[in-house]
């Protein structure tokens, strides 16, 4: 298996980046990722107003995937997520939902121990290892790694875990895949502006799907299939995700739109990914047993 270290990072997904690695379609690669602070918060003394803000939100890559073409898609199966032993969380002035309450940055370090995240001596939290930033080169201008969009990026989606498969619309030859910003745990919304930020290793299988046309990223796991959409507000993001799912199911199954909408209203969930980044992100998740009954296939 090819391995990619975290020496080559990108701070914006862009069309013109030089590939850090080239893989064949269907190849699995193990990728080392820095945390969202560029690994600059290691002790309680490391203050966020003293770090190099040009070095935050690094994604490792880009990886050129042979056979990925503009107008097609890239399938990304997340095989595993390996976390380092310490995480850092933060909040601060005008950051996150409660940024109106603070005048300065705060940070909190946690240990990853025995499959749990140790908040303090009284409280340990279950791990939910996930990848915050993951995507491909966008169609137009570069998009910094703090911002999500149709190319993926900083979606901060708790469903992007080991075992999940993502599908991204491809805008350039080779797709130019990158990922970073792992979290050991995060709640939907990411209200403080951070998860339990952690460096680690992501093992992913990258497959070019030249004939699949997409508008926004899709996500699939054992039980659900969803559209991930980002927009200026949560309302607009939800609206977009739901409309795209209706379009997708209508196109693929021929089910009338009014029937689909009534059915999805009973079984499908609008879920918040994050509400703290420059664009907000929502996923609309449909149970697979429903898709099976409709005869849906990508």
Identify the H or E element spanning 107: strand 106-113
How far is residue 191's CA from residue 90's CA, in Å, rounded to a whole number?
10
Q: Which of 9, 29, 31, 36 binds Zn ion (CB under 5 A)?
A: 36
Contact 296, 245 (CB under 8 A): no
Torsion of CA 227, 230, 235, 239, to 10 degrees: -40
How far is residue 63's CA from residue 134's CA, in Å, rounded to a whole number?
12
Q: Which of 92, 96, 132, 200 binds Ca ion (CB under 5 A)?
A: 132
Alpha-carbon torsion (284, 288, 291, 293), positive or negative: negative
Where does this chain touch Zn ion (CB under 5 A) — which range of 37-45, 94-102, 127-135, 261-269?
127-135
Binding positions for Zn ion, 175-194, rule CB under 5 A: 181
Binding mask 169-208 for Ca ion (x = CB under 5 A): ------------x---------------------------
Work out whether 138 is an interface residue with Zn ion (CB under 5 A). Answer: no
Size of the site for Ca ion (CB under 5 A): 4
In the complex, the smallest distance separating the C-beta of residue 134 from Zn ion, rounded to whole angstroms, is 11
Binding mask 226-265 for Zn ion (x = CB under 5 A): ----------------------------------------
Which strands, in side-by-side order, build the sheet including 224-231? 2-4, 27-33, 200-209, 73-83, 165-169, 218-220, 224-231, 280-287, 269-274
Name the residue nearer to Ca ion (CB basis): 154 or 230. 154
Residue that has been written with the tokens 């697979």 in this structure: 288
Work out whether 155 is an interface residue with Zn ion (CB under 5 A). Answer: no
Work out whether 156 is an interface residue with Ca ion (CB under 5 A). Answer: yes
How far is residue 286's CA from residue 145's CA, in Å, rounded to a whole number?
28
Alpha-carbon torsion (150, 271, 225, 241), positive or negative: negative
Name the residue nearer to Ca ion (CB basis): 234 or 268. 234
In the complex, the smallest distance separating the C-beta of residue 208 from Zn ion, rounded to whole angstroms, is 28
> Using CB under 5 A as the criterion, which residues of the chain lie in contact with Zn ion when the complex forms?
36, 132, 181, 195, 197
> Using CB under 5 A as the criterion, which residues of the chain lie in contact with Ca ion when the complex forms?
132, 154, 156, 181
């Amino acid at each position: 298996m090819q391995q990619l270290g975290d020496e080559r990072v990108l701070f914006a997904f862009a069309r013109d980046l030089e590939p850090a690695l080239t893989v064949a379609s269907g190849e699995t690669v193990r990728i080392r990722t820095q945390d969202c602070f560029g690994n600059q918060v290691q002790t309680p003394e490391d203050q966020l107003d003293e770090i190099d803000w040009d070095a935050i939100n690094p994604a490792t890559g880009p990886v050129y995937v042979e056979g990925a073409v503009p107008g097609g898609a890239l399938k990304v199966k997340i095989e595993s997520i390996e976390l380092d032993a310490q995480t850092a969380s933060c909040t601060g002035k005008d950051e996150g939902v409660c940024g109106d309450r603070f005048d300065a940055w705060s940070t909190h370090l946690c240990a990853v121990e025995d499959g749990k995240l140790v908040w303090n001596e009284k409280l340990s939290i279950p791990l939910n290892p996930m990848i915050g930033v993951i995507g491909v080169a966008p169609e137009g201008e570069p998009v910094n790694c703090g911002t999500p969009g149709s190319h993926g990026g900083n979606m901060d989606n708790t469903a992007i875990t080991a075992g999940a498969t993502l599908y991204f619309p491809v805008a350039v030859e080779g797709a130019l895949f990158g990922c970073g910003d792992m979290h050991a745990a995060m709640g939907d919304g990411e209200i403080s502006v951070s998860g339990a930020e952690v460096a680690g290793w992501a093992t992913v299988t990258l497959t070019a799907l030249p004939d699949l046309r997409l508008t926004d990223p899709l996500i699939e796991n054992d039980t659900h299939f969803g559209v991930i959409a980002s927009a200026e507000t949560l309302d607009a993001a939800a609206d977009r995700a739901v409309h795209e799912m209706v379009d997708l199911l209508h196109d693929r199954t021929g089910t009338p739109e009014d029937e689909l909408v009534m059915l999805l209203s009973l079984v499908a969930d609008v879920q918040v990914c994050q509400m703290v980044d420059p664009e907000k992100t929502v996923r609309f998740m449909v149970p697979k047993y429903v898709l099976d009954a409709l005869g849906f296939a990508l």
